[in-house]
Amino acid sequence: MEMKKFISMLISLLMILTAVQIPSYAAENQKLNANDYIITNPYENVDWETVKAYKAQFHCHTNASDGYLTIKEAVQLYYDLDYDIVAITDHGTNNLGWNKVPENIPLMRAVKKERSGGAYNPIIPLSEEEYAAYLNGTASTSDGSIRTNDDGLVDVAMGNELNMATPFADCHLTHYWCDYGQGLAGVYGDYETPSRESSKQGGVVMLSHVGEYVYTNKDTTSRYHVGQPVEDYYANKFARIFLDNPVGSSKQPGSVCGMGINSSEDEHTRCDRILYDQILAKTIPNGVVPWGFTFSDSHNVSSMNNAYCMMLIPDWHELDNAQRNEKLRSCMENGEFFAVSHYSNGVELDGEREFTAIEPDTSWPPEQLAKMNDTPMVTGIVVDEETDTITVEAENADRIVWVSDGNVIKREVSDAGDGEECTFTLSLHEDGLKNGLNYYVRFYVTGPQGICYSQPMVIRAADENGDPIDYAPVDVPKTHDLPAFLRGFVTVLDWLIFKWSPVIWIFKYFALGYNPIERLFNDLMIF
Ligand SMILES: [Zn+2]
Ligand SMILES: [Zn+2]
């Protein structure tokens, strides 16, 4: 058989196999009922009196991949929007610093040029002086406005969205702080390899907008699944990734620390919170808690401020960019942050909408959105282990929703006046908690301008000595889109045919923009 024919047959075979999924729904979990609970609060070490809330964008694109802004424009706009932390995550392209042109992927640049009607789109980084001014906060904002924090922007090193955004490589995750993925196209549905390799190389990984993957017909289908559990197959697949790459593992310096639960305008991600809850029910009994992130995934000026995270970090005024990167990293790993969005199209499992201030699928005008910084924000959390109560203080919020094991257990509307701080309390023992408690509680507060999600707090029953009773481990089967045999076969085939082929080397060099011989040598060194 001709080689070309053979390869195209192989590719079609792979695509057919990846389309086969076995639907099954999670069984109703048993509920937890105890006289005394132990609550693990990720915000336990936060000093609410002195801590700063730094505004972070973890996922955005420039024209180094499929975005429309230059690096210079994106940085200025995020600076104007009062951000403190920005990670540029271009597809298949490591951020080498905003003062450097990232390694080019000629193939992607060609596609970009095609898409933008042949316009030449130079990648424009910052000059050394500009870079220093943004980092130390001496640059001026476009409209002369004063930034909340005078510390400048943190340039998150080595951000990358691991894929090349091709339709055949639909697998989206971002990493930071590791040298992996430059010029790599990714394989459809293979979240496992980039998660593992980035973790091995010391990176911190976040799964992006997985709703685009679990409902493959992108734009249209997530709306038809609102309020429905995601197929258990996917909950197992992603839970497995968190279990295999946990924070603090002795096997690898990096980790997969969380996933996007609401991004862009929440169009594709409206069921991602439900999937997140399904995943938590599989990882928490096994001792791993993935955190929930929100991000804009912006490609142009109108979407830059859709969603972001507020990182709780002690004042870092005295620290330099590298030290701030370190602080940020441990903040991400420990879940000491809130995830915020202007949008929510979600419906809970009990059929209620998450956020009632805007109608589904409407957009804020971009000029208005850019100025809207009065999103809800939590300003204090007190966990009382004596009474098993959690008290939340929030601003710009008028209601709170408490979630446990994928179900709403309580909703509360504030009677505080407009613009006042409000206080909400949950007692784990109070009557009338709907659907019961299990594994964790998390909450979100909402207000006229958006939604703010907390990280989950693990709850366990206490024994008679007051010690936590651990959950029995839950079996999370390894799930792969390809059977082991086929994966092995493809790996060997790749090794035999592609790794050593001068034709492929030339393609990689000229189309993907990297030195294949050097890469091969590095791969061999890892073995
Ligand atoms: Zn993506
Ligand atoms: Zn993206």
Supply the pLDDT for residue 27. 45
Supply the pLDDT for residue 359. 55
Q: How far apart (Å, rounded) are the C-alpha atoms in residues 369 and 465?
A: 52
Supply the pLDDT for residue 348. 83
Ligand 1 centroid distance, CA of 216 (Å): 13
Instruction: Give the CA dihedral 316, 320, 322, 323, nearest 10 degrees.
Output: -40
Ligand 1 centroid distance, CA of 164 (Å): 9
Ligand 1 centroid distance, CA of 88 (Å): 12
Q: How far apart (Å, rounded) are the C-alpha atoms in residues 311 and 260?
A: 15
pLDDT (tens digit, 9 = 90+) per residue, 276-289? Answer: 999 999 999 999 99
Domain boundaries, the chain: 51-375
**51-375 — its CATH code?**
3.20.20.140
Tell me the whole-structure pTM to 2 decimals.
0.89
Confidence of residue 457 (pLDDT cuts 50, 70, 90): very high
Going 105 to 133 to 335 to 345, the CA torsion angle's sign is negative
Mean pLDDT across the chain, nearest whole number? 87
Going 310 to 267 to 395 to 429, the CA torsion angle's sign is negative
Ligand 1 centroid distance, CA of 212 (Å): 8
Region 218-222: what's the mean pLDDT?
Answer: 67
Ligand 1 centroid distance, CA of 208 (Å): 6
Ligand 1 centroid distance, CA of 165 (Å): 7
Ligand 2 centroid distance, CA of 211 (Å): 13
Asked whether 152 and 141 are in contact (CB, 8 A), the reply is no
Asked whether 40 and 390 are in contact (CB, 8 A), the reply is no
First to last CA, the chain: 33
Ligand 1 centroid distance, CA of 168 (Å): 13
Ligand nearest to the CA of 298: 2
Supply the pLDDT for residue 527. 42
pLDDT (tens digit, 9 = 90+) per residue, 466-516? Answer: 999 999 999 999 876 666 777 778 778 877 777 788 887 888 788 877 777
Supply the pLDDT for residue 4. 52
Confidence of residue 77 (pLDDT cuts 50, 70, 90): very high
User: Residue 391: beta bridge partners?
Assistant: 382, 425
The neighbour count for residue 128, using CB atoms within 10 Å, is 9
Ligand nearest to the CA of 268: 1
Residue with tokens 């799964």: 207
Distance from chain centroid for Cα 352: 24
pLDDT: is 267 or 525 the higher one? Answer: 267
Ligand nearest to the CA of 218: 1
Q: Which two tokens stand for residue 251?
A: 């096997």
Ligand 1 centroid distance, CA of 349 (Å): 26
User: What backbone torsions phi and psi does residue 449 show, to the nearest 5 degrees?
Assistant: -105, 0
Q: Which two tokens stand for residue 378?
A: 């939590």
| Side-chain half-sphere exposure of 253, counting CA atoms within 13 A | 8
User: What backbone torsions phi and psi does residue 225 show, to the nearest 5 degrees?
Assistant: -110, 10
Confidence of residue 66 (pLDDT cuts 50, 70, 90): confident
Ligand nearest to the CA of 67: 2
pLDDT: is 187 or 292 the higher one? Answer: 292
Supply the pLDDT for residue 499. 76
pLDDT (tens digit, 9 = 90+) per residue, 400-455? Answer: 999 999 999 999 999 877 767 999 999 999 988 988 899 999 999 998 889 999 99
